A and B are shown apart, each in its own frame.
Chain A
Amino acid sequence: MIELVQATKEYRTGAFGKGKLKAVDQVSFPLNPGEICSLIGESGSGKTTIGKMILRLTDISFGKILFQGKDISHHRGKALKEYYRYVQGVFQDPFSSFNPIFKADRVFSMIKREFFPHEKETQWKEKRDACLRSVGLNPPEVLNKFPHQLSGGQLQRFLIARALLLDVKVLVADEIISMLDASTRIDVLNLLGMLKKKGLSVLFITHDLSLGYYISDKALIMYKGAIVEMGRPEKVFFNPIHPYTRNLLSSVPRLDKKWDDVVLPSLSVVYENLYIPEKSKGNLVFQEIEPDHFVAFSQ
């Protein structure tokens, strides 16, 4: 559906932009239809930048982003608007995603004005209500209200419903549940799982490993702008190879074991030349060390 090919984002820093900072370094991965892909990393690892590049909220310095085989990295105007019909994002803070002066359902009428100006009002309302119901909201309960009258979970569902009104094929979900309460966050995750079954592709950006494991078909571990390990979650999480992934997994607070009791599976083979961002000189190359489990090597 969407494929990143050696996508790189460089920021210029310092006086007159002499310094260079690679926020995202040669990231390549495909996002297939009906797949939830988790992008897991610490703050500053570049995971949000990848989401922004896919949504074209920031320019791509080098490399390509292919959507249905076409490079979208230089789309403008009409072509870009057409692209947004299929690719949408939902962000971390539901309260700042809405304009507090207007009612929350204004996001829907804006979609209608921009993308479906010719559709009949009654037909549109039916479609809107169906979308709201599909994300688990009761339309009379949530329509005609201001953002502060709705809970964070409801607002996040609102934004997902807004994306569904379009012919959305790819949803970039950037930390969408980290601001929600523990008792409601799991339901928003379950909603993503349900939409996945209907064929939606989701790029789920998170710093929480257990959430990434819970929902995804593929896990990508990011460190300092590069993907260091990726593959099926059960393989990456239960047989971590890269030192960074291992460190991450030993630090996750768990409910069944104390930190001191966590023992990671020992490595059967010693791997040399693993790619360490900012240290390794060579190019990043992925090697498949077991089916569906890739680790970054330096070459």
Chain B
Amino acid sequence: MSLKMVELKVHYKTIRGMVQALDGMTLDLPDGEIIGLAGESGCGKSTLSNALILLKPPMELVGGHVELDGTPLPIGEFLQMRAFRYKHISIIPQYAMNAMNPTVKIGRFIRSIIESRGISFSKVMNALYSRFEIVGLSKKILDLYPIELSGGMKQRVVMVIATLLNPSLLLADEITSALDVSTQKAVAKLIVEFRNQGFVKSVIFVTHDVSVLYQIADRILIMYAGKLAELGPTESIINQPCHPYTKLLVSSMPEVGVTYEKTPLYGIPGQPPLLLNPPKGCRFKERCPLAYEQCSEEPPIEEIQPGHQVACWKARETDD
């Protein structure tokens, strides 16, 4: 088991009170898995990935614990986490364009990162060259400045840097959102390639775009208002969703071939609840077409099929 997360609670401290952005998340991530994390903005998906690598104010660890490869992860301790960052947990930032230092050449930039971890640059040279080859870049770019590369090339350089020390867990937060479709496809496929080659053990891929997840993820976790809504294998989440939120979300996505004239789609009315003082019980009940009295109580996370968890009172009834 690569990552084990139990009842993780991370809140944001604000003047008006605690914003309960991540409220009790339990997740097991086996080796070699790409898990996709999807949900609306403000559902806590970025909080989850940020909490694992850099938990800084106003974020506050309220409860729960995390283990990585059997070692407890001191995510609440800024300094103790330093031993894990980059070596064991690494992140690909969303804006690769701005992730590199514009005033030094890429080669020197990589050297400074590696040496800051107490590792000699010559030791990783071979790995660096072979990975540049895998992503389709030439060695020459080590002598270039970031401004001389295109957006897609920068993204690939950043991906190579992030995985150079073979981290156990890779966090990818919205890395494909700002890219064009053709670059998006290339980057997403590289993530799979990195996993297959064993450069990273497991990946948490955060995005709001479920169709990208369908292409690359092994499992998908749908979050709503800081909590788990549904977790399951990619095929079941897309083709047989059980949580009413997942159902509405998947059915509201247009695809090539669907037109307004013939098959109009509909969104989900309403807005997610404010997490400053979230409602009791199911947090989706305000917008849910199936809501009934029991929804004012916290829904249990039910395993309706092996590996397919749904947090809904009507989880069993709705799978028709």
Contacts and interface: CB of A to CB of B under 8 A. Distances in A.
Nearest to B245: A183
Given A182-B253, A186-B267, A187-B267, A209 B258 contact: no
B224 to A, nearest CB: 10
Contacts of A233: 259
Given A207-B180, A211-B254, A248-B182, A255 B40 contact: no
A215 B260 CA distance: 5
B260 A253 contact: no
Interface in A179-209: 181-187, 189-190, 193, 207, 209
A210 B271 CA distance: 24
B181 interface: yes
Main secondary structure of the interface of A (DSSP, over half): helix
Given A182-B252, A210-B258, A214-B260, A255 B214 contact: yes
Interface in B245-289: 248-250, 252-261, 264-268, 271
B316 interface: no
Contacts, number: 104
User: Binding site of B, secondary structure by majority: helix, strand, loop or mixed?
Assistant: loop
Nearest to A181: B40
Contacts of A252: 181, 256
Interface string A220-237: 000000000000010001
A258 interface: yes
Contacts of B181: 42, 207, 209, 248, 251-253
Interface of B: 40-41, 180-182, 184-185, 188-189, 208-212, 214-215, 238, 248-250, 252-261, 264-268, 271
24 contacts: A42-B180, A151-B271, A181-B208, A182-B252, A183-B267, A185-B267, A186-B252, A186-B265, A187-B267, A189-B254, A190-B266, A210-B254, A210-B258, A214-B254, A214-B260, A247-B182, A252-B181, A253-B181, A253-B211, A253-B212, A254-B211, A254-B215, A254-B255, A259-B185
Given A182-B252, A182-B253, A213-B259, 9 more contacts: A183-B268, A184-B268, A190-B260, A211-B254, A213-B257, A251-B181, A252-B181, A252-B256, A255-B253
